[in-house]
A and B are shown apart, each in its own frame.
Chain A
């Protein structure tokens, strides 16, 4: 708090930090005011940091390929069963 800086021979300043920081509390900011340029998303042009969760048309990725295999296996098993009958 005090702008004067004396070596910390007093015992109080050190423990204070520790307790106020614990259990994920929203922290005090180092400054009270800041310019828009210093904020996380300055200006009106927002970089797109979010992705759509269900537009995934990429069937070449591993998961889709494996799934396709699995479904094929399922079909052939079934036709196998029917052939036995």
Chain B
């Protein structure tokens, strides 16, 4: 017990948030020793005495008795967590979770009652992080026994949401405000809500944030790790809302600021940025961009090649090949809209193949191009429908002359967006 409580004291003397947080971490190497250092009959008294003893040599002292009691609550709860984790061969995750909730709530209360300062926020992060972790393990254990449940994680989400409010609604002056903890906690909530498939709840968080935006420090003044994670989730939320302009803005920032060695995170950002840019700018990832990500490269590069060359058949094949993954990532429907661009590029190739900037091209040519390699001969009406659709969407400038079986293209800029 001494080592943990001594670390608590040192952390206060140094105002060292990381060290303080480590005293309630589940990966603390003294966890086992702590679990065996006392028993349930004596734990409250032992911990309080130990805190008092260390506090006597602390600078500054926590003279206030309530102050020490708040910490005693935290470490008693932590001891129970440690005990549930260490003293059984088979960990009963349900029990760990109950204790972990007590621990997190004790930490939240400490901040709520205004006892703790900004440098101590790390302990709130650690409590919430492990609460979520234990909740996931608890639900998994239950699901392994055939019970389909996400109840613990939902429970954890509610508690982390309280931590969010404790940060967001702090009225202290900015330098000393818990508002500095807001984005770390929001990111934990986003991760949790995404896992629970409750994206709407993420939007509620963003609404609450907007309502408080005047007193909130600028996002870019927060830690870069918080900023990148936040931007990634905002980007995905906008993406799922089909607000691609906003999604691009968020994801671009996330990608640019992302740590260059955070391979997995960069891959996740690109997973959404690539379909987004296809729609907002009709841009495709280059081979150089995709090179470091074998999975993305194998799925997106062939697709990009087909879109560019107008290979409609190849595009459909490659989309089908990656379908499972695209659907899982919820980007399939967005990528499908790339079909229009492929078709437009194919029609443009037909136009270029006719040469001499001819403006009258037989519908049959377009029909042959679309039917080509597909093994099915399309009806002329079907192709006319494609063409009409392209014209309607502004991909092609011109009209169909049905009696002559010709597409009459605009003399200038027949395929807007390119030089021809």
Residues of A within 8 A of B (CB): 1-6, 8-13, 16, 19-20, 23-34, 38-41, 46, 48-57, 59, 61, 63-64, 67-68, 70-71, 73-74, 78
Task: Report if B66 contacts A (CB, 8 A).
Answer: no
CB distance from A37 to the nearest CB of B (A): 9
The yes or no answer to B229 lying at the interface (CB within 8 A) is yes
Q: Which of B228, B264, B283 contacts A50, CB < 8 Å?
A: B283
What are the interface flags for B236-280 relative to A under an 8 Å C-beta threshold, 1 for contact and 0 otherwise? 000000000000000000011111111011101000000001100
Contact at B289–A32, with CB atoms within 8 Å? no
Do the beta carbons of B284 and A51 come within 8 Å of each other?
Answer: yes
Contact assessment for A40 and B266 in the assembled complex, using a CB-CB cutoff below 8 Å: yes
Given the interface contacts A2-B29, A24-B268, A40-B257, does A54 sit within 8 Å of B308 by beta carbon? yes
Contacts of A46 in B (CB 8 A): 256
B308 A53 Cβ-Cβ under 8 A:
yes
Taking CB atoms, residues of chain B closer than 8 Å to A52 are 282-284
Q: How far is the CA of A41 from the CA of B316 in the complex (A)?
A: 33
Contact B191 A26 (CB under 8 A): yes
A28 to B128 Cα, complex, angstroms: 14
CB distance from B380 to the nearest CB of A (A): 13
Q: Which residue of A lies closest to B369 (CB)?
A: A67
Q: Does B52 contact A (CB under 8 A)?
A: no
- Which one, A6, A27, A51, A54, contacts B286 given CB within 8 A? A51
The minimal Cβ–Cβ distance linking A62 to chain B, given in whole angstroms, is 9
**Cβ B255 vs Cβ A41 within 8 A:** yes
State the Cβ distance, B185 to closest chain A Cβ, in Å.
14
Q: Which B residues lie within 8 Å of A4 (CB)?
A: 29
Is the CB–CB distance between A67 and B350 below 8 Å? yes
Are A16 and B285 closer than 8 Å at their CB atoms? Answer: no
Q: Are B277 and A33 in contact (CB under 8 A)?
A: no
B107 in the interface, Cβ–Cβ < 8 Å? no
Whether A27 lies near B364 (C-beta < 8 A) is: no
Stretch at the interface among B42-50, B166-174, B341-349, B382-390: B341-349
Interchain CB contact under 8 A, A33 and B289: no
Residue picked from A3, A28, A51, most chain B C-beta under 10 Å: A51
Contact of A54 among B32, B140, B341 (CB under 8 A): B341
